[in-house]
Amino acid sequence: MKKMRNIAIIAHVDHGKTTLVDQLLKQSGTFRQNQQLAERIMDSLDLEREKGITIKAKNASFQYKDYKINIVDTPGHADFGSEVERSLGMVDGVLLLVDSVEGPQAQTKFVLKKAIARDLTPLVLINKIDRTNAQPIQVLDQIFELFLELEASDKQLDFPVLYVSAKEGIALKEWKKEITDEDKRNGFSLLFEAIVTHIPAPTVDPEPAFKLLVANLDYSDYLGRIAIGKIFSGKIKVGSPLFCHQKSAQIVRGNVTAILGFKGLERVELDEASAGDIVGIAGLEEVYIGDTLSDSETIVPLPRIEIDPPTVRMRIAVNDSPLAGREGKFLTARHIYGRLLKEARTNVGLSVQETDIPGTFEVCGRGMMQIAVLVEQMRREGFELMVSRPEVIYKEDPSGIIYEPFEILSVDIPQENLGAVMEMLSKRAGNIRLMRNSQNRVFIECLIPTRGLIGFESEFINLTRAEGYCSHLFYEYGPKQGEVEIRESGVLVSMERGVATTYALENLQQRGVLFIGPGEEVYEGMVVGENKRPGDLLVNPCKAKHLTNIRSQGEGKAIGLEPPRRFRLEEAIEFIAGDELVEVTPTKIRIRKKILDAHERKKASLKVGS
């Protein structure tokens, strides 16, 4: 056990965690020299590779000299914070990775706060030192201030620091602008030594009974459900009796059918495992994250994993549009509800509830992206469904005061965009707390309602022409603010069912931005474009040109249609208003009104108004 280290790699999104893991595995000799490897080896999901972010926490290990080092690669996006929280329960130290240009961001503060609360030993890595505008000395000062702000202990404040380039696989004790050939030859040798020197060996309970806290779940077609976690005490062998102590105090019995250890990225079967190791155990079907596994019925279970509550909810419903059922394999409420429950079992940051409306389910999570990623996974699996606009989860105290979630928003923008960004924050009820100028850029920190962040990132990227950075983190619940302006324009709504024609769309594009092209099927109540003016407008995208035997003026003139605006799933969810839904199928993303019939829609709006 003294030759074992359990570490988690934590950082803000896009600060280089997964690239660092790649280099740790390569330089430790985990792979053959001639082995072909993709970039970001740990990002195994298609969505992770496409988006360039880590969504699920993953385990791996490598050997350095006679030390076995278990590593956990964690997500950096705030919406997947529950993955970080449960991963920290398996480790004894953390590698805190910070970008040498951007410095500590919102998620850096969140993950470091959780690590300090667990009294984990930090090793600070200032990454991307090879960038031309790197400022690692200033960033180190910011990191120290962050440790002070989070009330770190004296031992934690005395953290070791290395200056690294995860992309190049270099670690230095002192920062220098010019990287030599000798530095490149040394690679990560200083980092490996720092891990075994500064990160402590696993702390275990001396009692003989076997105890493992389930921090993650996986599934194998051959072994069934696999519970992954750190062994806190005792030993376990294949074939031993196994008892699962659940939240309801119920005890589920079984036998250990397999013990899986980690060797590089692969899982290897073990005959036995002992305290301090991170393993996967098969043999139980009814096991959940936070349960304690033991070889005895009479033990006291380990404290359950506690995570921050969800702040956003969305409704997922059966697709009932006129074009439903043409592409998907899984269409019914039973299919959708079963898939949502399956996700909730392995993702403790999500909760699923049935609603009063048949075929409609409420999903609560930490942020819109967390739920949108789930919907994207479902559509790729062959599901058809509808998704509502995100809503924040309000709380009400006994005196009747309504509270809503607030977040700390940090933006770093070019000076020229300051006026436009300030106007946008004002419309979204943002309250500026800090503003700082530096080298033609402005850093702003503000307190903003979570509902003011719905659709913020897309608008922010367009406004700053992708030259701005933004990050946000849940802060607290506070008294509800006034109305927040999100979408000022209306939409173009089809009044007919049929196929869109070039002739009709040419006339409609003068009214706004189109979401469809010629030849696409539309139906009544489907949103086909964004209106230039406030309010919705009923249009007919299927209108055909009437032919006569007399040649009209301009006959044969070329029709010029602008390319339609195509939404990604997250963009469509951010765009829709409260009376609209996103229809999601394996190949199409459409926006529609909740009530398709125009007369019924008008009646419903009059009832709400009265």
| Distance separating alpha carbons of residues 41 and 37, to the nearest angstrom | 7
Per the annotation, does 129 bind a ligand? yes
579 is in an annotated binding site: no
CB atoms within 10 A of CB 330: 16
Cα distances (Å, whole numbers) of residue 280 to 69, 267, 402, 591: 16, 9, 44, 43
17 labeled part of a ligand binding site: yes
- H-helix segments, 251-310: none
DSSP codes of every residue in 397-460:
-TT--EEEEEEEEEEEEEGGGHHHHHHHHHHTT-EEEEEEEETTEEEEEEEEEGGGGTTHHHHH
- Retrieve residue 292's tokens: 């304690």
Residue 14 labelled as part of a binding site? yes
Please state, in angstroms and rounded to a whole number, the distance separating the CA atoms of residues 525 and 591: 9
Nearest to 111 by CA among 69, 162, 146: 146
Query: Is 501 labelled a binding residue?
Result: no
What is the maximal distance between C-alpha atoms in the chain?
A: 97
Residue 71, annotated as binding a ligand: no
Asked if residues 171 and 187 have their Cβ atoms less than 8 Å apart, the reply is yes
Residue written as tokens 């479902």? 378
For residue 208, CA distances in Å to 294, 304, 528 come to 11, 21, 66
Tell me if 585 is assigned to a ligand binding site: no
- Amino acid identity for residue 417 in this structure: N
Identify residue 434 by its one-letter amino acid code: L
In angstroms, rounded to a whole number, what is the distance separating the alpha carbons of residues 75 and 11?
8
HEC letters along 202-213: CCCCCCCCCEEE
Which of 430, 408, 410, 407 has the alpha carbon at shortest distance from 470? Answer: 410
Q: Which 3 state secondary structure label does DSSP give 67? A: strand
130 marked as binding residue: yes
Instruction: Name the phi and psi angles at 457, rounded to 5.
Output: -65, -45
Residue stretches of the annotated binding site: 14-19, 127-130
Residue stretches of the annotated binding site for GTP: 14-19, 127-130
